[in-house]
Amino acid sequence: MATYRSRNALAGPLVPDRLATVELPRTPLGRRGYQPEAVDALLHRLAYELGERTRQLDQTRAENDRIKRALRTWQATVRNASA
């Protein structure tokens, strides 16, 4: 799996346990909330990794379908050959 690379994002693949412990930097004293750049970087990374996982899942499903079709074809050939 490709890993998203960014200076502003966490290192390593994101997994649910790591996401639960993410701490975004706070804005400077006197302002409220999180730093928009940090939030944007995390959102971009989440979108990228979700897209990668979706692509991989689609590939896996396509490969499973291909293998099932090949197995059915092989089973039909073996049945016909033994008849």
Per-residue pLDDT tens for 40-65?
A: 888 888 888 888 898 999 999 999 99
For residue 38, name the pLDDT band (cuts at 50, 70, 90): confident
For residue 37, name the pLDDT band (cuts at 50, 70, 90): confident
Whether residue 6 is predicted with pLDDT greater than 70 in this model: the reply is no
Asked if residue 2 lies in contact with residue 52, where contact means CB atoms within 8 angstroms, the answer is yes
Domain count, the chain: 1
Q: Is residue 57, in this structure, part of any structural domain at all? A: yes
- pLDDT for res 7: 53
Domain that holds residue 49: 16-82
Whether residue 75 is predicted with pLDDT greater than 90 in this model: the reply is yes
Q: Is residue 70, in this structure, part of any structural domain at all? A: yes
